């Protein structure tokens, strides 16, 4: 029972952010992308990530379905931000991670982004899609054809 509250994507995000911050603080190896444009892009990524999560959460709330990754959804949400991405919350998490890495000038931590995506896909997206495929069959098959996983 406690697993469903600890084994969630925000915990993985916080872990990756902690590693990136530690790397930017203690292990720079003289590498830097500390240019104003990179800082600006980092800020856009963080803000955009939070916006994606907010829009997805509102849509899920409107459809009275769960946001918890280990639970089965009551409704297949395909409206709003979910028309553009099947996983806007995970996409938002990824943008937040990338944005903070850029903002903190944590160049070595850029490798955390594909690692984070891989973990999220294996631990959460694939099992969620399996549950949705079993529950919503034809409707989910159509959704897969119309909407990309990430963007």
120 vs 115: CA distance, rounded Å: 9
Residue 135 inside a domain? The answer is: yes
Asked whether residue 27 is domain-assigned, the answer is: no
Let me know if residue 130 belongs to a domain.
yes
- Nearest to 121, CA basis, from 12, 22, 5: 12
Q: Is residue 1 part of a domain?
A: no
Helices 9-26, 112-120: axis angle to 10 degrees equals: 170
Question: What is the 8-class DSSP label of residue 73?
Answer: -
Instruction: Please check whether residue 2 lies inside any domain of the structure.
Output: no
Structure token digits, residue 135: 């529950």
Task: With a cut of 70, say whether residue 1 has pLDDT above it.
Answer: no
In this predicted model, what pLDDT tens digit does every residue of 18-36 receive, in sequence order?
A: 999 999 999 998 888 989 9
Running DSSP on this structure, what letter comes out for residue 63? T
Length of the chain: 151
Range(s) of the domain holding residue 141: 11-21+34-146
CB-CB contact of 85 with 151 (8 Å)? yes
Residue 115 within a domain:
yes
**Chain mean position to CA 142:** 23
Q: Which of 38, 43, 15 is nearest to 99 (CA)?
A: 43
Cα–Cα dist 145/140, whole Å = 9
* 151 inside domain: no
Task: Give pLDDT, residue 112.
Answer: 98
Q: Indicate whether 29 belongs to any domain.
A: no
Question: What domain count does the chain have?
Answer: 1
Q: What is the pTM of this model?
A: 0.93
């Amino acid at each position: 029972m406690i697993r469903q509250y600890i084994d969630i994507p925000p915990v993985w995000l916080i872990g990756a952010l902690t590693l990136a911050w530690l790397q930017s603080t203690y292990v720079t190896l003289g590498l830097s992308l500390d240019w104003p444009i990179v800082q600006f892009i980092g800020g856009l990524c963080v803000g955009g990530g939070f916006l994606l999560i907010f829009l997805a959460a509102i849509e899920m709330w409107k459809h009275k379905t769960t946001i918890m990754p280990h639970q089965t959804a009551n409704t297949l949400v395909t409206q709003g931000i979910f028309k553009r991405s099947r996983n806007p919350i995970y996409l938002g998490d990824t943008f937040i991670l990338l944005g903070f890495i850029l903002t903190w000038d944590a160049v070595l931590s850029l490798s955390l982004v594909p690692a984070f995506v891989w973990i999220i896909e294996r631990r959460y997206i694939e099992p969620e899609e399996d549950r949705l495929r079993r529950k919503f069959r034809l409707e989910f098959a159509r959704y897969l054809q119309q909407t990309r996983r990430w963007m």
